[in-house]
């Protein structure tokens, strides 16, 4: 079993829909990252959080340390949000989930 | 402030050749991390370096792979005698400083896509 599990693996949505991507982990962590990888391959760090909730534009990330679970929400999704979203946890190094591939259609 | 730079962006090598991947961290960053993303797989940690020191190389294959981050110049990931299984995207990230548990945000480079023929 992977130490970091993401669901769903693939997600399609219509423009404007509310998106939720989930991440569960089984190890003790100091922080959790959400990353975005575009079709061209580049990786952008969206959030790093160790408790509570963070918001940036249409993106919201939450974490529940007791339940070892985090969610990434996208409000009013747009085709340009189409990408792979990766959850990664800090132990003494970063451990990555396998990603959620999101496609948003107009 | 330029971001993390990697070159080349694409590298093609024949089996048995050497591959050298370069990473220039963001200005002011002294910590560099290398990750590998095999086709259809997630990212995997390879090595963590500070200037002139390897801090954690627990993710590096035992043979043919080496990494350095000299006092001057970029960090280099070297793969000797490449094999087809080395074909992957190699990402570098940098951070300004490291505290216990490696909690700093890491800034990723665009990656080098290595293809071994």
- Provide, as residue numbers in chain A, all residues whose Cβ is less than 8 Å from the Cβ of B58: 93
Residue A43 and residue B113: Cβ atoms within 8 Å?
Answer: no
Cα A104 to chain centroid, rounded: 15
The answer to whether B21 and B37 have CB atoms below 8 angstroms apart is no
Residue of A nearest to B3 (CA): A44
In a structure prediction context, what are the per-residue pLDDT tens digits for chain A, which is 106 residues long?
A: 689 999 999 999 999 999 999 999 999 998 999 999 987 778 888 999 999 999 999 999 999 999 999 999 999 999 999 999 999 998 878 899 999 999 999 9
Length of chain A: 106
The vertex-B68 CA angle with B65 and B70, nearest 5°, equals 165
CA dist B36 → A57, A64, B77, B89 (Å): 30, 29, 11, 6
- Provide, as residue numbers in chain B, all residues whose Cβ is less than 8 Å from the Cβ of A42: 108, 110-111
- Provide, as residue numbers in chain B, all residues whose Cβ is less than 8 Å from the Cβ of A44: 108
């Amino acid at each position: 079993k992977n130490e970091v599990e993401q669901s769903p693996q693939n997600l399609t949505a219509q423009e404007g829909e509310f998106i939720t991507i989930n991440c569960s982990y089984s190890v003790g962590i100091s922080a959790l990252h959400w990353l975005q990888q575009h079709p061209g391959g580049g990786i952008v760090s969206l959030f790093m959080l160790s408790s509570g909730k963070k918001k940036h534009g249409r993106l919201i990330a939450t974490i529940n340390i007791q339940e070892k679970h985090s969610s990434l929400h996208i409000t009013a999704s747009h085709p340009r949000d189409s990408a792979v979203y990766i959850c990664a946890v800090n132990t003494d190094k970063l451990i990555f989930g396998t990603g959620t591939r999101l496609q948003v259609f107009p | 402030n330029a971001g993390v730079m990697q070159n080349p962006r694409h590298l093609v090598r024949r089996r048995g050749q050497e591959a050298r991947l370069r990473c220039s961290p963001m200005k002011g960053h002294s910590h560099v991390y290398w990750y590998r993303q095999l086709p259809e797989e997630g990212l995997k940690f390879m090595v963590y370096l500070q200037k002139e020191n390897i801090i954690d190389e627990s993710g590096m294959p035992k043979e043919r792979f080496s990494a350095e981050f000299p006092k001057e110049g970029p960090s280099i990931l070297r793969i000797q005698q490449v094999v087809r299984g080395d074909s992957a995207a190699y990402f570098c990230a940098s951070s300004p400083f490291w505290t216990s548990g490696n909690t700093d945000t890491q800034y990723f480079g665009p990656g080098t896509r290595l293809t071994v023929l």
